[in-house]
Amino acid sequence: MPDHDRDHAPAVETRALRRTFAAPRNRPGAAVEALAGVDVRIERGEIFGLLGPNGAGKTTFIKILTTLLFPTSGEGRVAGHDVVRAAGEVRRRISLISGGESSGYGSLMVRECLWMYSQFYGIPAAIAWPRVDELLAVVGMTEQAHTRINRLSTGQRQRMNFARGFVSDPEVLFMDEPTLGMDVNAARALRGYVARWVRAKAGRTVLLTTHYMAEADELCDRLAIIDRGRVLACDSPAALRRQVQGGQHVELEVSVREGDGTGLPSLDGITAAWGAPHPERGTRTLKFRLPPECPLVDVLRQLEAQGVRVQGVATREASLEDVFIAVVGRGLEDTEVVK
Ligand SMILES: Nc1ncnc2c1ncn2[C@@H]1O[C@H](COP(=O)(O)OP(=O)(O)OP(=O)(O)O)[C@@H](O)[C@H]1O
Ligand SMILES: [Mg+2]
């Protein structure tokens, strides 16, 4: 691809991207298809999210695009550069923040370590030092600037990793569960920073994975819902929510008898799922979408007839979680779905 075309290339583009992992030696025949042909196009300037259950292929996708893993077949491009044939070009333009992992050189101090990363990318000192200090403030670690990395708490180390991702001012920033395990305030502050960072300069792009629906909803311009290595839906959070609208979302708090609580009541034309149990009240949440033609009182009568005692009723707009359940067929956490 000529250079002038690359300037207009999307931030990320994949075609029929596949990755299989060979069967482990003790379980022959059980090869895993982590990515089963993924086509995604992410424009520059977007915050794009990948949402999917454990093992869906999110990390595999990010690893291939960050050149840490080869695809089995298909193609991936970052800023117009092929992730296999032009891995060096790709690496120069990206960075990766992995929430689960904590790296760094233990005996260095936080500020030194961030400086060192800036130097890997050849950032001039007059830009690098103020950037390092700004990022320390952003992640709330100004006071730990001169703390050795091996003395940091897990959360502090994660925040340092987060800062590290921005030090090189990448064109495309990949984040694999960036706020995993962070406290609520830290996560919120860092989400705010990501949103401001992307908008502050044309062409910056973020691809992130998350398990937090609210994070995906709040932050992402578009989302791909993936499961078993396939993209099941891809659109803006609002458009995805519209897909499952046309019915009210109902949450009932119902009494759960001893030894029961896994079987779902059968409801005419309705797919219900168990939500969180409330052991202290002996109840559990039952969630479903109420079809427009079906009055809620009918459902309550059906439940009564099955001996289910309803203690509370809440209705609300469609959420991303509803979309997820509709598309994947199950929830992200301890939600069971019976059709
Ligand atoms: N190195 C590997 N060797 C063998 N199988 C692997 C390897 N890495 C991933 N897998 C398998 O590939 C599939 C996708 O894994 P991946 O880590 O991409 O999922 P994920 O969507 O990131 O999940 P999570 O939400 O748990 O982080 C899983 O079935 C996983 O067991
Ligand atoms: Mg993962």
Domain CATH number, residue 307: 3.30.70
Does position 334 have pLDDT exceeding 50, yes or no?
Answer: no
Which whole-number Å values give the CA distances from 82 to 40, 77, 85, 162, 173, in the listed order?
14, 4, 5, 26, 17
Listed in sequence order, the residues at least 6 apart from 258 whose beta carbon sits closer than 8 Å to its beta carbon are none
Query: What is the DSSP pairing of strand 172-176 with strand 205-209?
Result: parallel
Which among 17, 26, 38, 59 is the best mutation to test ligand 1's pocket, defined by most ligand atoms within 8 Å of the CB? 59
The number of the ligand 1 atom at minimal distance from the alpha carbon of 60 is 18
CATH of residue 31 = 3.40.50.300
**Residue of the nearest CA to atom 8 in ligand 1?**
60
229 lines ligand 1 (CB under 6 A): no
258 and 196 in a common domain = no
320 and 231 in a common domain = no
Ligand with smallest separation from the Cα of 57: 1
49 lines ligand 1 (CB under 6 A): no
pLDDT the model gives residue 114: 95
pLDDT digits (tens, 9 = 90+) for 65-83: 999 999 999 999 999 999 9
The number of the ligand 1 atom at minimal distance from the alpha carbon of 61 is 18
Question: What residues sit around ligand 2, an ion, with C-beta below 5 angstroms?
Answer: 58-59
Q: What is the 314 CA–ligand 2 centroid distance (Å)? A: 33
Question: The pTM is what?
Answer: 0.81
Contact by Cβ (8 Å): 216, 223: yes
pLDDT digits (tens, 9 = 90+) for 226-239: 999 999 999 999 88
CB atoms within 10 A of CB 3: 7
Determine what percent of the chain is predicted with pLDDT higher than 70. Answer: 91
Q: What is the 208 CA–ligand 2 centroid distance (Å)? A: 11
Q: What is the 265 CA–ligand 2 centroid distance (Å)? A: 34
Does position 294 have pLDDT exceeding 50, yes or no?
Answer: yes
Listed in sequence order, the residues at least 6 apart from 260 whose beta carbon sits closer than 8 Å to its beta carbon are none
Domain that holds residue 304: 242-338
**Helix 110-120 with 125-138: angle, nearest 10 deg:** 130
* Last residue in a domain, options 235, 260, 295: 235
The number of the ligand 1 atom at minimal distance from the alpha carbon of 57 is 18
313 and 167 in a common domain = no
321 and 180 in a common domain = no
Does position 93 have pLDDT exceeding 90, yes or no?
Answer: yes
* Last residue in a domain, options 186, 216, 235: 235
Which among 19, 27, 33, 60 is the best mutation to test ligand 1's pocket, defined by most ligand atoms within 8 Å of the CB? 60
- Across the beta sheet with 205-209, the strand order is 94-98, 172-176, 205-209, 47-51, 222-227, 230-235
Question: Of 267, 99, 123, 295, whose CA–CA distance to 183 is shortest?
Answer: 99
Overall number of domains in the chain: 2
250 and 145 in a common domain = no
Name the amino acid, one letter, at 147: T
pLDDT digits (tens, 9 = 90+) for 55-66: 999 999 999 999
